[in-house]
Chains A and B, each alone.
Chain A
Amino acid sequence: MEAAVKAIAAPRRRQILTLVREDELSAGEIAAHFDVTRPAVSQHLNVLKEAGLVSERRNGTRRLYRARPEGLAELKEFLEEFWDERLSALKREAEKEERKRGDDD
């Protein structure tokens, strides 16, 4: 989960994801859309692949990449965890404060 969050934290990788959302593309085709080198694109693709956000398919000598929407769907849980942790901390701190005030009375 953390790998996926780190993967989408980079704007360039989000752009790549958007590009391969509907079309299966090679690293070269992806690189042609941006002002970056092909090795840089390959590196981004590796990060996305390891995070489960894109799939890779061999077609002859070409490797084609496509987004894996289910990889992102899992991350909805991440947002929920973020708030669950924050809200349980709020509860804990507010209750601690209330107890402290009760003791002071």
Chain B
Amino acid sequence: METTTETMVERELEIAASPETVWEFLVDPVKVARWFGKQAWLEPRPGGQYRVDVIGGHIAAGEFVELDPPRRLVHTFGWEPEGGQENPVPPGASRIEIELEPSGEGTTLKFRHTGLPDAEAAGSHAHGWDHYLARLVVAGGGGDPGEDRGPEGM
């Protein structure tokens, strides 16, 4: 059966740091917290879980799927329930793939956020609308992702 998984965000960026250094920022909880949230708990192995307190108690969570240091990382992505309310994009609902390639002295990072099986399960008539809703909530998580904690980050 054909999958209708849609790419929601795709980005490519050059980082003036080695793939080994960048990799640490994907799997070391202290370093993950420096760019992704306030605090991170990670079990960086296939099947291992992670949780990141992104902003003010909004918890992003999922499972590591694939780790090929320092080249490729795949994990699922979603939001934990808040105030007893299930998030429409629960942990595991979408998928993030990050690839690192050496580029001169630095690294090319390729980022893809895909998925949302829930939108497919919702059925065809609901597809467009629910899909939009769901992918928004991936980003929003009920939170305020606009906050930037400044260059020091700690």
Contact = CB atoms under 8 A, between A and B. Distances in A.
Say what secondary structure dominates the interface of chain B.
mixed
Interface in A48-105: 67, 69, 72-73, 75-76, 78-95, 97-98, 101
B35 A90 contact: yes
A10 to B, nearest CB: 8
B15 A91 contact: yes
B136 A69 contact: no
**B interface residue count range (under 10 / 10 to 19 / 20 to 34 / 35 or more):** 35 or more
B31 A69 contact: no
Say what secondary structure dominates the interface of chain A.
helix
Contact of A8 (B9, B128, B133): B133
B146 A2 contact: yes
A78 B141 CA distance: 12
Contacts of A92: 35, 151
A84 B35 CA distance: 11
Contact of B17 (A21, A75, A94): A94
Given A79-B8, A87-B11, A98 B17 contact: yes
B17 A67 contact: no
Contact of B136 (A8, A11, A101): A8
Nearest to A96: B151
**Quick one: which of B9, B113, B136, B142 has the most chain A CB within 10 A?**
B136
Given A94-B22, A98-B17, A85 B135 contact: no
B136 A79 contact: yes
Contacts of A81: 145-146
Contacts of A9: 137, 140-143
A40 interface: no
B2 interface: no
A8 B137 contact: yes
Interface of A: 2, 4-6, 8-9, 11, 14, 17-18, 21, 67, 69, 72-73, 75-76, 78-95, 97-98, 101
